[in-house]
Amino acid sequence: MLALASVPSLNIGDTAMIGRLGVEPLAARAVGAALIGGIYWIFAFLTFGTTTLVGHYHGSRDFEACGATYVHALVLALLGGLGVSLAGLFLAPNLYRLMGAAPGVIDAGIPYFRVIITSAPFTFVFFASVGFFRGVQDTKTPMLIAFLANGLNLVLDYVLIYGGFGILPMGLKGAAIAAWIAQFLGATICLSVFVCSARNGRYRPSKWRVNIVQFRPLFRIGRDLAIRTGALRFSLIVATGTAARMGAEILSAHEIAFQLLLLCSDIIDGLAVAGQALVAKYLGSNQKDMAYRMGKTLILCGGVAGCLFAGMFLSAEAWIVQIFTSSSDVKRIFSGEIFLLVALFQPLNGIVFVLDGFLIGAHDTQFLMWAMLVGALGIFVPLSWLSLQWGWGLPGVWVGVSALMTWRLLTNFGRFVGKGWSAAVP
């Protein structure tokens, strides 16, 4: 799985609104999103790892263990979030300079980044909560909370970025404040539902205490997923840094392309998440054949969903480009080769995302870690670097993205068909 659809600071509507402010704010947002996404996605194990563990316990009818796993995930979320917030506040200028951003982009981006990064504890609590709800087969609750948080984020984006209702325009910083408020709301609702809802009563631990031993399963899955996700995000940060060194217009076009990729992965992730939770449940109740059949269904659904996105993109190219930017230079760079690559690879991406979900649900995270390390560091990063050194431009970077996704398809599909994942099931 590629995206975190529940993160308001990374949504596509936010990008479209900021794009109307000009090239530098959009470029500053692009660098900030790459950094924030890199940090947040490393902690995505709080969602995926918790879903897998809770789903396994739910399948074996050990409801007490479901709640205990969630409590321990919350502890990790709070501690990790506080550490990330403090580090981000102090290191923001250095991180933007490390990304190769121009002075104007750095000046606009630092306040934006510092506000958003202080919401990390809320974001990570939300991640852990989503993992718990999915694990107990309750996908409706996190969906509604995510819709509420992202809906509030979009409304606040418009008011705080452009001004209204007596509030002065805040520009890029307003987008950061909107995301902060939305993440706080999302985390608060999640905790309230777990503590107060009668439906979740059987999962609430009889004794709310922390046991070091119960961190071990989370640490194992978390280690594999953090390294895997870290390799992916590092490669994407390299790609953004490469685009930043090519100029603000190219960086802005890269950000739009990346947000379109995220839009598709966010939606297709719904299939991957459902597959992950169901596969974990089936394997927890020792139904391997049922899990394999579920995987075949996921592949079909992922491919069909990707084809639908490809068709939608190709038929509405001019309209999509117009939504994101009014800059003629950015339009020229983004249209044509880049847009075509983003559109044509959607069927492949759809299959990759759902197979990721299947293998995570089967506890096969170590395989995913090594496959991603090879693909991201051995294929994507070199192609991104060569794009800058040999003058391939942004098309070279996106050929690298396509090559990485092809590698992930080949390795994930081979692992699924060969049933190597069955050896990882506890």
415: domain range?
8-424
Q: Please return the burial class of 261, using the count of CB atoms within 10 Å of its CB with bins 0-12, 13-18 and 19+.
A: buried
Place of tokens 């510092």: 114
Condensed to tens digits (0 to 9), the pLDDT of residues 157-181 reads: 778 878 777 677 777 788 888 889 9
pLDDT digits (tens, 9 = 90+) for 38-54: 778 778 778 878 888 88
Predicted confidence at residue 284, as pLDDT, reads 77
Single pTM value for the model: 0.70
Q: Is residue 3 part of a domain?
A: no
The answer to whether residue 420 sits within a structural domain is: yes
Q: Does residue 304 sit within a domain?
A: yes
In contact, 361 and 284? CB cutoff 8 Å? no
Q: Which are the contacts of 66, defined by CB distance < 8 A and separation ≥ 6? A: 54, 57, 58, 132, 135, 136, 203
How many structural domains are present in the chain?
1
In a domain, 1, yes or no: no
How confident is the prediction for the chain on average, in pLDDT? 83
In a domain, 136, yes or no: yes
Residue 168 is classified by DSSP as P
Average pLDDT over residues 414-426: 79
Q: DSSP class of residue 335?
A: T
Q: 329: buried, middle or exposed (CB in 10 Å: 19+, 13-18, 0-12)?
A: middle
pLDDT in tens, 237-286: 788 888 888 887 888 888 788 878 877 777 777 777 777 778 887 887 78
Taking the C-alpha atoms of residue 320 and residue 9, their distance in angstroms, rounded to an integer, is 21
Specify if 107 maps to a domain. Answer: yes
**CA neighbours within 13 Å on the CB side: how many for 167?**
16
Q: What is the C-alpha to C-alpha distance for residues 105 and 240, in angstroms, rounded to an integer? A: 13
Closest CA to 236 of 351, 336, 383: 383
Rounded CA-CA distance 91/103 in Å is: 16
Mean pLDDT of 353-378: 88
**How many percent of the chain have pLDDT more than 90?**
19
- Does residue 2 belong to any structural domain of this protein? no
